[in-house]
Every structure is written in C-alpha cells, then in structure tokens.
Amino acid sequence: MKYLIFLILTFYLPSSYSETVSKETKKNEAGYRWETIDSQTKKALSYIANDDYVNFEKYMDSVEKSNPELPIANSIWAAMYYKITEEYRTKEFETDFDEVIKKAVTALEDEKMDKDKGDIYKAKRLQFLGSAYGYRGMYRTLKGLWASAFLDGKRAYHVLEDSLKLDPSLIDNKAGMGTYLYWRSAKSGVVKYLLFWGDKKEEGINYIKSTLDDSKIIKLWALGGLVRIYIEEKKGTSAIESADKILEDAPNDIGTLRRKAFVLEKQKKPEQALAIYQKMLPILKNNDGIKIRGKELNTANAQIECIHSILRLNKLMKIDDTVDYKTEVKDKLRKRMTDSYIEIQNMADEIEKF
C-alpha cells in the first residue's frame, strides 16, 4: 500500500493564455490554453527533482503571481514537501504539507469554478484534483493510514479518468492512472485481485510508458514511477535504465540515486553502489540548513542513513576509509536527529559499532 506514493506522477497545473497571441482565436484550443502553466509546472518540478529547493522557492514567486485561473501553487508546494519528507527522512514539514494540501483539495473540489468555462477548464481542474488526492494518499501511506490512503488513490484514479474523457489531450493523466492500476494489483493480495480486481499490473505499466514520448510535464515523474515498479518486479536492469534517464536531467535527485544504489547492491555491484552513496552525501550536506519559507531544512537523518550505507559497504569490501564518519555522527549528527518514518536511531547506533 505504501506505493500509492507514486500517484505523485499525476501532478499537473493549469494556466492563463499567453498575452502574445490573440485570445479570440486561441481561447478554445486546449493545447494552447495550458501551454504556459504546463511549462512553468515542468520547470518547478525539475527543481524539486534535482533537489534544488532554493531556486524552487524563488521560481514559485513568479508562478504564484502569473496564474490566477486555478489554485496551482498549493499543489506544487505539496509535491515539494512530500519529497522532503520521504527522501530527507524527516517529519519536520508535516504541518506545512497538511496546510497546503488541505487548501488545494478544498479549492479544487469546488465545482462552482467550472461555471461558464466549459469542459476544457473542468478537465484541467479535475487533473489538479487527482493530483491533490494522490499527494494526500502518498502522505497517508507514510503515516500508516492505509485505508484512507487507498481511498485517496481510488479517488485520484477516477478523477483523472474523468478529466481525460473531457480532454483527451491530457495524456499525462495516464501516468497517474497507470500507477494506480499497477500498485492496486501488486499490493492488494493474490486472492483479492484474482476475485475482485484482476491482474492489471502490465496494463498499468503500459499506461505509464505511453506518456513518455508525449508528456508535457511529468516525464521525470513517470520514469521515477517505473524505477519503483521495476524494483518491485525485480527487473534491475530496467530500473537502472529508467533511473539513468532521470539523472541525465536531475543528477542530484536523492531519491533516484538512493534507489539506483539499492539495485546495484542487489546486483552484487557494491563498488558502484558505494560511489553513489558517496555522491549523495555532499548533496545532503549542501542542502543542510537551507531555509524553505523561513523554516530550516535539517538533513541530519538522511546523512546518517547515507553514512550507514557507506560504512556498511566499506566493511563488506574491507575498505579503510580515511573519513572519520563515526565521530561526525557521534559528535554532530546524532544531536540533530529528528522524528522520522524510518529507524534512524538504530542506524546511528550501528554506525558506532562498525
């Protein structure tokens, strides 16, 4: 159930018309109508993917000012807060996530926004709403709220499906829909999906793959979903191929780097995995202490996890590292540990025993 997380792939946002082209001749053309916001959203998501939160926040100022048609900013911020929570192993931004996702869902559920605006507008609103349900479901999986997370995933699927029917040009919807199809089958249990659901894993994968060539926004996120699916399917080569495509555009993506290292370990390639963990640590240190809407990002938990992986592989390969990681953890990072959804305390304890 935790893999409802991948509904993050459904994240898109609407926009107003460009001022440089005639509104009278273009206002009913769906592809043009959302060109600006799709471009802006893609750029905002690229900052998130590359763990560049300083430039993300700066860029969001322009996004918030230039798109009055739909409440897009809260959905984007929800994507950012979720990634920090998952990949930086911290709960410190929980209240921030709760605030923005509540605002996004409440606003986007308001059908009155559709009045006199036509199906194209409604389709985009529903696309946003599917995204918001997906993020909320993802977060609930981290909290262990499986039932409500599952319901949000189901809501997201049907909303995205309705959106696509209204506007078939919103091809990105299929990434979110495919994610739900796959993980619903993969995690619902053999008896349940054979009797009531059927095995739709392959259909889900094909839905996601069908968006890669024509995606307007979420290609990186679709590839990220495939990485996780291929890991679940134990298809390591395919997982690494998708990960490498992400890293071409987002080389600092902590989550993708971590999952690639995981696969390399499974493939008995510890040297390559170690090199990735060693690349991750400076990225985590570089983001340590940055301010996001005035709140400091503490990366101590993620640093401890990364150091644990480095020392574990050093021990496996009998490498004597010149860096005194143990002292760094004991004297600095341990004191800054915060609540997390993984067992950071145990990792810190084990580091002292290496």
Instruction: Read off the pLDDT of residues 328-338 as tens digits, 9 standing for 90 and up.
Output: 999 999 999 99
Mean pLDDT value across the chain: 87
Q: What is the pLDDT of residue 158?
A: 97
- Tell me which H or E stretch contains 295: strand 295-296
Topology classification of domain 2-250: 1.25.40
Residue 32's pLDDT band (cuts 50, 70, 90): low
What is the rounded distance in angstroms from the CA atom of residue 203 to the CA atom of residue 183? 11
Question: Which band of pLDDT confidence, cut at 50, 70 and 90, is reported for residue 21?
Answer: very low
Of 81 and 10, the structure prediction assigns the larger pLDDT to 81
Round to whole Å and give the CA distance between 176 and 210. 12
Q: Where are the chain's structural domains?
A: 2-250, 268-354
At residue 41, what is the residue type? T
pTM of the shown model: 0.88
Tell me the C-alpha to C-alpha distance, in Å, between residue 88 and each of 21, 295, 303, 308, 341. 43, 15, 8, 14, 10
Ramachandran class of 266: left when φ > 0, alpha when ψ lies in -120 to 50, beta otherwise:
alpha
With the C-alpha atoms ordered 105, 110, 116, 120, is the resulting torsion angle positive or negative?
positive
| Biggest distance spanned by C-alpha atoms of the chain | 70
Cα separations (Å) of 55 from 8, 44, 58, 65, 81? 21, 9, 5, 16, 15
Does the pLDDT of residue 198 top 80, yes or no?
A: no
CB atoms within 10 A of CB 115: 8
* pLDDT at residue 124 in the model: 92
Q: What is the pLDDT of residues 69-117, one digit of tens each?
A: 778 889 999 999 999 999 999 999 999 999 999 999 999 999 998 888 8
